[in-house]
């Protein structure tokens, strides 16, 4: 079984009196007083709510969600925020920039003719040739075509 962030960090802390876990809630922005985060505005059950933070706020919405919420809250590239009429809390040009997708395609195949399977080749030259052939065919078919997902 895969060990998740929930098992590693959240479950051991669930007993704390200063922790409340809400599911089905969507953070809309970080509320600031000056440049200090006061807490999070969020929507739950169609109702706008606010969670105040007395000490610290942790925004962990992933590589896309965190920059989005920060920018909607006024933290990000100044020109972009002004363009969308978002008051600038803190000009931080790196927020939301330099993001890269890591698209992956995973293939699982079932062999119909086991005698032609790569694992059955006993000689290194044959294996080397098969790997080169696979790499050549893969590059030619995948990298030279536009993939629309």
Query: Structure pTM?
Result: 0.62
pLDDT tens string for the chain (149 positions)? 778 888 898 899 999 988 888 889 999 999 999 889 999 999 999 999 999 988 888 888 888 899 999 999 999 999 999 999 999 999 999 999 887 767 777 777 666 665 555 555 555 566 666 666 666 655 544 444 433 33
Place of tokens 């030279």: 144
Q: Which residues pair with 44 in a beta bridge?
A: 25, 47
Q: Is 24 left (phi over 0), alpha (psi -120 to 50) or beta?
A: left
């Amino acid at each position: 079984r895969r060990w998740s962030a929930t098992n590693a960090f959240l479950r051991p802390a669930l007993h704390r009196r200063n922790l409340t876990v809400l599911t089905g809630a969507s953070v809309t922005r970080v509320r600031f007083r000056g440049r200090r985060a006061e807490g999070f505005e969020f929507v739950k059950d169609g109702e706008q709510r606010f969670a105040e933070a007395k000490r610290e706020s942790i925004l962990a919405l992933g590589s896309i969600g965190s920059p989005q919420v920060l920018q909607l809250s006024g933290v990000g590239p100044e020109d972009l925020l002004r363009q969308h009429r978002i008051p600038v809390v803190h000009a931080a040009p790196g927020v939301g920039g330099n993001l890269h997708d890591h698209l992956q395609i995973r293939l699982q195949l079932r062999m119909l003719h086991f005698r032609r399977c790569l694992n059955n080749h006993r000689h290194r030259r044959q294996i080397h040739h098969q790997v080169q052939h696979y790499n050549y065919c893969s590059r030619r078919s995948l990298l030279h075509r536009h993939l629309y997902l």
